[in-house]
Amino acid sequence: MYKTLLISHSLIRQLVLIFLVIVIIKTFVGFSSRKTFSKLDNTLGMTLFSLTHTQLLLGLLLYFVSPFVQFGSGTMKDASLRYWTVEHVVIMLAAVGLITAARITSKKMTDDTAKHKRMFIFNAIALVLILVGIAMSKRGFLLSHG
C-alpha cells in the first residue's frame, strides 16, 4: 500500500506542477493585459484545485503509513525524520491553503483583472513553497519514488 500511494503521490505531483505553471502564466498574462477571466481560466483553476486536493488526500494517507513519519523523542533531532514528520506536511498544507484561497476568493470577485491578479499571486507563492518543499526532500523534482 505504501509504495502504491508513494508512486501515485509522485505522479499527481507532476500534474499539479504542470497545471500550477499553466495557471500562473495564464493569470499573469490575464492581469497584465487586463483580459477577461474566461471559461478556460475558470476550468484551469478548477482543475488545479481538484488535482491539488487529490494530492492532499494521497499525501495524508501516505503520512499515516510512511515509515519516514515517526513520533518519538528523536524525531526533531534527525533531519530526515523531522522533514517528513513536520516540515513537509506544514509546507505543503500552506501551499494547498494558498491554492484553495486563490480559487475560492477569486470566484467571489467581480473584476476580471483582480481575479487574474489574485490567482497569480497566491498560486505563485504556492509554487515557490512547493518547489522549496520538494528541494528540501533531496529526492529530486522528477518521478522519485523513495
The string of pLDDT tens digits covering residues 36-53 is 999 999 999 999 999 999
Give the number of other CB atoms < 10 A from CB of residue 23: 26
* Distance, first Cα to last Cα, the chain: 14
Instruction: Give me the pLDDT at residue 9, please.
Output: 92
Whether residue 129 is contained in a domain is answered as yes
Whether residue 145 is contained in a domain is answered as no
Structural domains counted in the chain: 1
pTM of the model: 0.90
- Is pLDDT of 132 > 60? yes
Please compute the mean of the pLDDT values over residues 73-97 and round it to a whole number.
93
Whether residue 107 is contained in a domain is answered as yes
Please list, residue by residue across 58-85, b when 16 or more beta carbons sit within 10 angstroms of its beta carbon and e when fewer do. bbeebbeebeebeeeeeeeeeeebebbb
| Domain encompassing residue 26 | 2-68+76-137
Whether residue 146 is contained in a domain is answered as no
Q: Report the distance separating Cα 118 and Cα 108, nearest Å.
A: 11
The tens digit of pLDDT for each residue in 64-81 reads 998 888 899 998 998 888
Whether residue 51 is contained in a domain is answered as yes
Whether residue 144 is contained in a domain is answered as no
Q: What is the residue whose three cell numbers read 498560486?
A: 123
- Is pLDDT of 58 > 90? yes
